[in-house]
A and B are shown apart, each in its own frame.
Chain A
Amino acid sequence: MNPAVLIASVYVFALAAFLGYQVISRVPPLLHTPLMSATNAISGISLIGSLVLAGAKGYPLPAHILGFVAVTTATINVVGGFGITDRMLKMFGKRKTEAKKEIAK
């Protein structure tokens, strides 16, 4: 990695940290469990690194096998994480429409 890339990466890291702090501190405690499973699913983006390891040009077989395991665990996180987050958020959303219906009655 050359210094210019490193500096750019550090910029991205610092800005993401700042932005993350701003955005996440606004999430109400009500949604902290879905938040954790959502950020988990999002950090399952390490899947793209695993994909490269599992199949890209220039990697030997042992790397492909490590990559296969990594793709599997990262996919579990992405699919499972998003699925469960949605299941939870559906429970929080459902209430509102039902309450509205009751008021309408």
Chain B
Amino acid sequence: MSLTSYFMEATYLVASILFILALKMMSHPETARKGMFLAEGGMFAAIIGTLVGAHIVTWVWIIAGLAVGSIIGAWMAITVPMTAMPQRTALSHAFGALAAALVGIGEFVTKANEMGIITRGALGFEVMLGALTTTGSLIAAGKLQGVIAGKPVQFRGQNAINLIIGLGMVSSFVFFWIHPEIVAAFYMMLGLAFVFGVMLVIPIGSADMPVVMSLLNSYAGLAAAATGFVLGNNVLIIAGTLDGFSGFILSVLMCKAMNRSITNVLFGGFGAVIAEASADSGGVIREISLDDAAMQLAFANRVVFVPGYGLATAQAQHACRELGELLEARGVTVKYAIHPVAGRMPGHMNVLLAEANVPYSSLYEMEQINPEFPSTDVAVVIGANDVVNPDARDNPKSLIAGMPILEVDRAKSVIVLKRGQGRGFSGLENPLFFKPCTSMLYGDAKSSLSHLAQAVQHV
């Protein structure tokens, strides 16, 4: 081994350690940013190490790729709004997975004959996962961006067709594994993996996106780890595995937060079902005027805001924070209750509120805030529906039975800001709206909130 190769390996070791440290420092918002600087340093070291030690002979493609990638990456980093974070993340899963798949294809094109059976297995795994994650993530990004309809696409025999495509993909993988000389098997696997990725994501509704995003994150990471096996490169294995496990942990958390299994999310097509199991509440919906709502808020001791995705679509985060600050100035204790699946990706709502300058110490997780609702004077539900549906707790027949909810119905009074009288994303009736403690404030969340803020000032 030459000196430059030792240098390269040393930078990889440093990068691995820095990546792990960075993720450890992610455990607190105060240290997280410093941690990311370490990770950036690790990444830089590994790139330099590779350029020095990997016997690079042709620089033009490398420099072109680094330049184009940096420009696009920097442009995205600067311009993407926080509301579009899920799309951007989905897109970056696609990019990461595509890079892994392309490296795999490149290795196949040049070195297929020299490969042992183990490397070939890892290569097949890498290309398969990379390809299906690429198309799956592109579909997810399209759905989140609204380019593709967010509604689940379902048709008769869908699961059977998916099963055939999946089996076809796996069997061409096995075929390629045993008979590397038959090139067609490899390309068959590649093509079917692209199709399979599309088929995997189209039946899933936008509301289930947090789970899908986490799963695709996990696949993209595992594809990178498989690349590490193919190239015999430990830092790739470590970084890919960290990414894969992070995605896996998030998927499990998201599924728990919806009380559903991963298979149910992937193959259930939940958003398409219009539930009929909901108990007939038969109550009366009570509307409230802006002034009355403002009065209630201004004279409350404790107010909890419950933001849902509706808040983000109405771009009402800033209006919400302004109202919260006005109330705090009057001596009201204001807290924000964040359901784990609020928003379109894990933790999305926290980011949106942080961007609107809500201090993170006012953001409360479900387990922390639920015991506080009985002593809360007013709970303000903004564009959230299923996550506050008491049916999940009380009605075992409900489609969302068992899903943990924010128990706003235990508050002394509830004001629901809602666009119109329609049902929530899942199409379920929400008995919360019919409870005597609940009153509805219809209209666009942003204008309602800023009008409320004005009214509070005049109280």
Contacts and interface: CB of A to CB of B under 8 A. Distances in A.
B103 to A, nearest CB: 5
Interface in A1-47: 1-3, 5-6, 9, 12-13, 16-17, 19-21, 23-47
A2 to B, nearest CB: 8
B240 to A, nearest CB: 6
Interface in B100-128: 100, 102-103, 105-107, 109-110, 116, 118-119
B259 to A, nearest CB: 17
A49 to B, nearest CB: 5
Interface residues of A, number: 87
Given A38-B36, A50-B103, A63-B109, A56 B56 contact: yes
B20 interface: yes
B347 A34 contact: yes
Contacts of A32: 250, 253, 345-347, 350
Contacts, number: 376
A82 B43 contact: yes
Interface stretch (B86-94, B170-178, B194-202, B373-381): B86-94
Nearest to A102: B359
Contacts of B95: 73-74, 76-77
A24 B232 CA distance: 25
Contacts of A56: 54-57
Interface string B351-364: 10011011111010
A33 B62 CA distance: 31
Given A55-B57, A55-B58, A86 B36 contact: yes
A93 B243 contact: no
Chain A contact residues, majority secondary structure: helix
B241 A39 contact: no
A27 B25 CA distance: 9
Contacts of B61: 54-55, 64-65, 67-68, 71
A27 B234 contact: no
Given A40-B96, A55-B56, A56-B55, A80 B72 contact: yes
Given A55-B61, A62-B109, A92-B354, A72 B74 contact: no
Most buried by B among A24, A73, A89: A73
5 contacts: A9-B237, A33-B347, A49-B236, A55-B59, A70-B98
Interface of A: 1-3, 5-6, 9, 12-13, 16-17, 19-21, 23-60, 62-93, 95-96, 98-99
Interface of B: 12, 15, 19-20, 22-24, 26-30, 32-33, 36, 39-40, 43, 46-47, 49-51, 54-59, 61-62, 64-66, 68-70, 72-74, 76-78, 80, 82, 85, 88-89, 92-93, 95-96, 98-100, 102-103, 105-107, 109-110, 116, 118-119, 213-214, 217, 220-221, 224-225, 227-229, 231-247, 249-250, 253, 338, 340, 345-348, 350-351, 354-355, 357-361, 363, 365
